[in-house]
Amino acid sequence: MPRLRLAAVGAVISAAAVLAFAAGCDSGTPSAASWHAQSGSGSYPGSGQGGGDPIAHPAAAPAGSTPAAKPSASASASPSASTSAAPSVSASTAPPADGIIRTTGDATVALTFDDGPGPDTPKILQMLRDQGIKATFCLIGVNVQEYPQYVQAIVKDGHTLCNHTWNHDESLGKKSADVIRADLQKTSDEIHKAVPDAQIKYFRHPGGNFTPTAVQIASDLGMKSIGWSVDPSDWNTKKWSGQQMTNHICSNVRNNTKPGSIVLSHDGGGDRSATMAAYKTLLPELKGKFTLVALPV
Query: Is the Cβ of residue 46 or residue 71 nearer to Zn ion in the bound state?
Result: 46
Residues paired with 160 in a beta bridge: 136
Instruction: Give the integer Cα–Cα distance in Å for 271 and 261.
Output: 25
Smallest gap from residue 124 Cβ to Zn ion (A):
15
Q: Which amino acid is at 295?
A: L
Query: Is the Cβ of residue 95 or residue 207 nearer to Zn ion in the bound state?
Result: 207
53, 106, 266, 267: the active-site residue? 266
Instruction: Give the integer Cα–Cα distance in Å for 100 and 210.
Output: 8
First vs last C-alpha separation in the chain: 60
Backbone CA torsion sign across 71, 74, 135, 145: positive
Q: CA-CA distances (angstroms) from residue 243 to 38, 132, 200?
A: 17, 26, 35
Smallest gap from residue 208 Cβ to Zn ion (A):
9
Query: Is the Cβ of residue 206 or residue 296 nearer to Zn ion in the bound state?
Result: 206
Residue count, binding to Zn ion (CB under 5 A)? 3
Tell me: does residue 115 bind Zn ion (CB under 5 A).
yes
Q: Is 266 a catalytic residue?
A: yes
Residues across the chain: 297
53, 57, 106, 114: the active-site residue? 114
Among 53, 106, 114, 120, binds Zn ion (CB under 5 A): 114
8 Å CB contact between 292 and 135: yes
CB-side neighbour CA atoms (13 Å) of 92: 13
* Residues 188-207, interacting with Zn ion (CB under 5 A): 206
Provide the b/e sequence for 27-65 (b: ≥16 CB within 10 Å). Answer: eeebebeebeebbeebbbebbbbebebbbbbbeebeeee
Query: Is the Cβ of residue 95 or residue 208 nearer to Zn ion in the bound state?
Result: 208
Smallest gap from residue 120 Cβ to Zn ion (A):
14
Smallest gap from residue 74 Cβ to Zn ion (A):
30
Query: Is the Cβ of residue 115 or residue 234 nearer to Zn ion in the bound state?
Result: 115
- Using CB positions, name the residue nearest to Zn ion: 114
Cis omega before residue 117 (within 30°)? Answer: yes
Site string for Zn ion, 19-48 (x = CB under 5 A): ------------------------------
Tell me: does residue 234 bind Zn ion (CB under 5 A).
no
Q: Is 248 a catalytic residue?
A: no
Smallest gap from residue 290 Cβ to Zn ion (A):
24
Active site residues: 114, 266
Q: Which residue ranges make up the site for Zn ion (CB under 5 A)? A: 114-115, 206
